[in-house]
Structure 1
Amino acid sequence: MLTVGIDIGGTSIRAGVVNPTGRVVDLATTPTPRTEAELDAAVVRVVRELGERHPVSAVGLAVAGFISEDRRLVRFSPHLPWQGAAVGDRLSVALGTPVVLEHDVNAAALAEYRFGSARDRGVVAMVAVGTGIGAALLVDGRLYRGAHGVAPELGHLSLVPGGRPCPCGKTGCWERYCSGTALVDTVVELATDRSWPGSGLAAELAAGRELTGEGVAEAAVAGDPLGAAGLDEFAGWLGRGLALVSDVLDPELIVLGGGVAASSELYLASAVDHYTRAATGTGHRPLASVGVSALGGRGGIVGAAELARDDLVGRESTLRAAPTR
């Protein structure tokens, strides 16, 4: 049984055919359109492209946004034109196959539980650090979505009262201090507060050039003092946030994912040190271990395909159990 998982980001749509062992056997990509109708059409197009090469049974979509409890409706997505959109039903009709939706980090967390670094663990929190912070919670392999399908929104925990403004409308959110974009903001603030002789990053800022999180990380590796200071602050905020996650959810494992996780060797040890010192009751309770995603950027694709497979198996079981007349 082959299913398609689709990770729909703000810039690109990545679709993969996934087999029951979690292996991605084929991929197709296309840019993310800016209108609702064009986005629907782009998803249909990549699924049909893959369907020409493989017998596809069902489709799962991993979406960065709020998904309804029945996983049929995109309530809100900050980077996509789907707002209050019945995406599941529309695409199912267009493709002639079952389509299910899921929050992108929920999908990645399920993939890590079944095939990756969280395999067979009991209570697992996933924190995906990229442009912002997304999160998921698994309890004995089951996703916890909350009463209305939006939990756990950890990236918007307020760590700094009256802190940096966030696009969500609040201030001081965790992701405004611990993300790829936040790392750049931190470096800009540090460069404003004092001089950094010998820093290439400081020279770039003085010349009016824009920085990226990846550029800051690369500079830190090369020994740039401003980049190193920025990463040090990033690690501190990550550790403080993980302490809150541990205090509230008490997981046995926290998995770090997202684009920033690819550079975890630069900050993870320091972040874990901050985490163990900030968590309530350190030394008197077990603390969650912290690991890094094993599936990387394919986690959302694999997880969405798995959810589509689960949904399809459930439909078939219901049909077999239905009484005949």
Structure 2
Amino acid sequence: MDQRGFGVDFGGSGIKGAPVDLVAGEFAADRVRIETPQPATPDAVAAVVAELLVQFRGTAGTVGVTVPGVVRHGVVSSAANIDASWIGTDADALLTEATGHEVHIVNDADAAGVAEVAYGAARGQQGLVVVTTLGTGIGSAVVHDGVLVPNSELGHLEVDGHDAESRAANSAREAEGLSWEAWAERLTRYYRVVEALMSPELFVVGGGVSKHAQLFLPLVDIKTPIVPAALRNRAGIVGAALHAARAV
């Protein structure tokens, strides 16, 4: 595997990219951010990814790109929070043609999970690790002995008659004005369901709210160890670059 890669994190407001040192799991240069085009169609996003790579002339090797959707063999098959025209798009082929680099896409939560297991809070952890990202929704990544089981979508489990993320995502906390204690009760219920289904060795909690982990994670009452993510907003870019390097 190459020691350098390039990762791109495609989000609702910004598309961010940086070269990545795949030994250390760190950016090899400062990240560059470009506003996400509206509408964020596949062709429009491909043009932005190509523009990002132009700003890092000399970038060689594969490029990894996160997508907030289910990914199968480089094809996007869901679009809950992105333009519907992504559904059915062979994004690997589209982005490879647009950029002139070999590109591999990966679900955004899966990218974060791969990064946390390789370099972050779950480094060295054997067995089953479940990484969740608490944001607008709940993203999830399931990794067993370092191997990703993709597209787990555990944020859409039904818990007490509700789509889990509609009650337990950070957006629900903000929209309903929940205290950290009240939100922790909902998170406890959610993680107990996942715990009962999967019996993981470790939960890792990411997303922007993880920087406040000390305010809510100690209140989550489950048997499984649960820790905040280490890479935070670097996880998508780093995980995408690592995924692409491994895909070669």
- 1:220 alignment partner in structure 2: none
| C-alpha distance in 1 between matches for 2:54 and 2:89 | 22
- 1:73 alignment partner in structure 2: 75
Matches within 5 A, 1:1-325: 1-21=3-23, 22-26=25-29, 27-33=31-37, 34-36=39-41, 37-50=43-56, 52=57, 54-68=58-72, 70=73, 72-81=74-83, 82-122=86-126, 123-145=128-150, 150=151, 152-161=152-161, 172-187=162-177, 230-271=179-220, 273=221, 275=222, 287-312=223-248
Extract unaligned runs of 5+ from structure 1.
162-171, 188-228, 276-286, 313-325
| C-alpha distance in 2 between matches for 1:42 and 1:55 | 16
How far the C-alpha of 1:240 sits from its partner, in A, is 1.1
Extract unaligned runs of 5+ from structure 2.
none
| C-alpha distance in 1 between matches for 2:99 and 2:175 | 43
| C-alpha distance in 1 between matches for 2:205 and 2:133 | 6
| C-alpha distance in 1 between matches for 2:171 and 2:114 | 26
| C-alpha distance in 2 between matches for 1:156 and 1:35 | 24
Which secondary structure state, in structure 1, belongs to the residue aligned with residue 124 of structure 2? coil
How far the C-alpha of 1:45 sits from its partner, in A, is 0.8
Deviates more, 1:250-259 or 1:95-104: 95-104
Q: 1:67 to 1:2 in 2, by over 3 A?
A: same
How far the C-alpha of 1:19 sits from its partner, in A, is 1.3
TM-score w.r.t. length of structure 1: 0.71
Amino acid corresponding to residue 203 of structure 2 in structure 1: I
How far the C-alpha of 1:230 sits from its partner, in A, is 2.5
Larger Rg: 1
How far the C-alpha of 1:65 sits from its partner, in A, is 0.6
Higher helix share: 1
Higher strand share: 2
How far the C-alpha of 1:185 sits from its partner, in A, is 3.3
| C-alpha distance in 1 between matches for 2:216 and 2:54 | 42
Which secondary structure state, in structure 2, belongs to the residue aligned with residue 65 of structure 1? coil
How far the C-alpha of 1:250 sits from its partner, in A, is 0.7
Amino acid corresponding to residue 141 of structure 2 in structure 1: A
Deviations 1:159-194 (A, max 9, x none): 232xxxxxxxxxx1111111222013332xxxxxxx
| C-alpha distance in 2 between matches for 1:23 and 1:307 | 14
Large movers: runs of 4+ above 4 Å: none
- Asked if 2 retains the 8 angstrom alpha-carbon contact of 1:16 and 1:301, the reply is yes
- Asked if 1 retains the 8 angstrom alpha-carbon contact of 2:6 and 2:59, the reply is no
How far the C-alpha of 1:88 sits from its partner, in A, is 0.7
What is the percent sequence identity of the aligned residues? 30
Q: CA RMSD in A?
A: 1.4
Amino acid corresponding to residue 75 of structure 2 in structure 1: L
Provide the aligned length of Structure 1 versus Structure 2: 239
Q: 1:35 to 1:254 in 2, by over 3 A?
A: closer
Amino acid corresponding to residue 19 of structure 1 in structure 2: D
How far the C-alpha of 1:29 sits from its partner, in A, is 0.9
Deviations 1:202-249 (A, max 9, x none): xxxxxxxxxxxxxxxxxxxxxxxxxxx632211001111111111111
- Asked if 2 retains the 8 angstrom alpha-carbon contact of 1:131 and 1:179, the reply is yes
Amino acid corresponding to residue 41 of structure 1 in structure 2: A
TM-score w.r.t. length of structure 2: 0.91
| C-alpha distance in 2 between matches for 1:119 and 1:80 | 31
How far the C-alpha of 1:251 sits from its partner, in A, is 0.7
- 1:281 alignment partner in structure 2: none
| C-alpha distance in 2 between matches for 1:125 and 1:299 | 15
